[in-house]
Structures are given as structure tokens and as C-alpha cells.
Structure 1
Amino acid sequence: MSSPCDPRNAPAGDVSAALMMIDSRLKAVYDGRTQADPEQQALVDQFIASLGPREVDDVLDGTCTLIFLFMKWLRMAYEDHDRDVIEYVVPNLVATMRMMPKSVRPEAIPTMAGLVVAAGTGLSPNLWRKQYGDWTKDEMTPLEATAFLLAEHINRLTDDHDFATRMITQALSGPDED
């Protein structure tokens, strides 16, 4: 029986834009900054301000697609070592988000944990979330933080600061290279 949260039923969204935002945050952290480069941040802010409602939804869907792809990679990596991805990723994610009270309100943490569990079990994060209503403005930063933390987790596992971004970029460019 097919689930209404099957990833085949989910829009991919604007994965490139979502990845650009996550990559910008990763680069800032790896460069030892607490904030993104002011010039880079200005470009990201300008891009976000230029989006209409449909484009915002596309970036939101793209962020959920990133979460799904990151969790898919993590699930395969942990299964290769006979470990459960949920057991190793979710507690770390929740603990980290609890240390980010300015960016992630406590009430958003269960939703983000649920989103990651959904993705970790092969469900579409955006379709899983949709069954509980529309996204709220207060969930936007925690959603970005979730994608960022998963990408950073992958980069730590691979000991490569660009691995998560490169993996998605290669997946996006793969069909064009055939």
C-alpha cells in the first residue's frame, strides 16, 4: 500500500536555491564566522526578498528535498555499519537545536525531529508536514537549521567540508551529463 507521504508524490522544489542557502551557512561556519560573509548574506537576502509566494514555496519544498536526500545518504551510511540512522541522528539534532534558542524556538524542535524521522524512514518531509497544516513563519529558520545540521553531520562523517553540497550538486547535474 502506498503512503500519502511517498516521496514520489512530493514536489522537489527549488533544490538549487535551498542548497545555495545551506552552503552559504556551511562556508561561514567552516571559515570560523558566526555570521555569513556580509556580501554573501546580502546576496542571499536580496534573492529571498525577490521571491514571490510560489517561489518561497519552491525553496521550502527544495529544503525538504535536501533533508530527504541527506537522510537517505545518512541512512545508507549508518546501515553499512549496522546502525540505525534515527538513533544516531535525531538525538544529536535535537540536542544541538536546544542549544540554539535564538534561532530555534523550543516548540519547533518536535516538528523538526518528526520531519527528520519521516525522512529517515523514507517518507517525504514536506508531505509529512503538510498533513499537520501549513508551514508557519516560526518554522522557517528551524527548517533551514535542520537542513544545515544534517549537511554538517554528513560533512563531519566524511571529514570533507564540501561533501554534502558536492553530493547534491552532482545529483542535480548527473542527468544533464548523460
Structure 2
Amino acid sequence: MSSPFDPQNAPVGDVGAALLMIDSRLKSIHAGKGETDPEQRELIEQFTGSLGPAGANDVLDGACTLIYMFTTWLRQAHEHQDKDVIEYVVPTLVATMRMMPKSVRPEAIPTMAGLVIAAANGLSPDAWRKQYGFWTEAEMTPLEVTAFLLADHINRLTGDADFATRLICDALSSAGDG
């Protein structure tokens, strides 16, 4: 039986732009800078500022697609080892976000965990979230943090700092072939 929260019922969004933002953040964090350098931050702000409301919404949808794709990969990897992705990924994700009170307000954490749990159950994170109304400004940074933490988790699991980015790029390339 089809659900209104099935991924095929949700917009894909601008996955490329969302991936660019996540990959940029991954590279700056792992380069030892900890924080995005001011020039790069300004470029990202100019880019997002140039999008307009429809473009920004497309990037938001793209971030949700990334969360879905990263969680799907993690679910498959964990199932291969007879483990439950919700049991092994969500608690670490929540604990990490709790250590980031400047970026992730405590009230956003249950929603971000819900996005990952929805994706782990084969549902669209974006469609699942939208049942509760419009996205809030306070959820934008936690959404980026969630996608970042999932990508970083994948990279650490594989021992490859670019694996998560390649995973999405390969999926985008193969989707363009079909």
C-alpha cells in the first residue's frame, strides 16, 4: 500500500547544491579549520542569498533527499551486518547534536531524529516533516547539521573522506543516464 510519505511522492530538490554545501563543510572541518573560513562562508551566503524562495526551497528538499540517500546507504550497510540503523546511528546523531547547542537548539533535535527514522523506514524525510507544517528558520541549520553528520558517519565507516560525496555524485550520474 502506497503512503503519502513514500519518496516517490516527494520533491527531489536541488541535491547538487545541498551536496556542495555539505561537502564544503566536510572539507573545512577535516582540514582542521573547525569552522568554514570567512571567504567560503561568504560565498555560500551569496549563493544561498541568490536563490530566492523557490531556489532555497529546492536546496531544502535537496538536503532532505541527501538525508534519505545517506540513511538508506547506512541502513543497507547495517542490515548487511544484522544491525538496525536506528539503533546504531540515531543515538549517536542525537548525542552529537546535543553537544552543539549553538548550532542545534534542543527543540530541533527530535525533528532531526524523526527525519532520519522516517528515512530508515523508507519514508521521505521531507514529506514526513511537512505533515507538521512549514519548515521553520530554526530548523535550517539543524537540517544541514543532520546531513553533515550522516555524511561524516559514512565517511568514517568507510575510512574514505570523500565516500559520501562520491556516493551521491555516482547516484546523480546514474540517474542522468536513465
TM-score (norm 1): 0.97
Unaligned runs of 5+ in 2: none
Q: Distance in 1 between matches of 2:177 and 2:159?
A: 27
* Greater mean alpha carbon deviation, residues 166-175 or residues 141-150: 166-175
Residue by residue, what CA displacement relative to the aligned partner does 1:60-99 show, whole Å, maximum 9, x if unpaired? 0000000000000000000000000000000000000000
The 5 A counterparts of 1:1-178 are 1-177=1-177
Alpha-carbon deviation of 1:175?
Answer: 3.7
Aligned CA RMSD, in angstroms, stands at 1.0
Q: Distance in 1 between matches of 2:57 and 2:70?
A: 20
Q: Distance in 1 between matches of 2:124 and 2:93?
A: 18
Task: Give aligned-pair identity as a percent.
Answer: 70
TM-score (norm 2): 0.97
Number of paired residues? 178
Alpha-carbon deviation of 1:35?
Answer: 1.1
Q: Secondary structure at the match of 1:123?
A: coil
Alpha-carbon deviation of 1:33?
Answer: 1.0
Q: Distance in 2 between matches of 1:118 and 1:175?
A: 23
Alpha-carbon deviation of 1:43?
Answer: 1.5
Alpha-carbon deviation of 1:40?
Answer: 2.2
Unaligned runs of 5+ in 1: none
Q: Distance in 2 between matches of 1:108 and 1:43?
A: 26
Alpha-carbon deviation of 1:39?
Answer: 2.6
Q: Distance in 2 between matches of 1:55 and 1:84?
A: 35
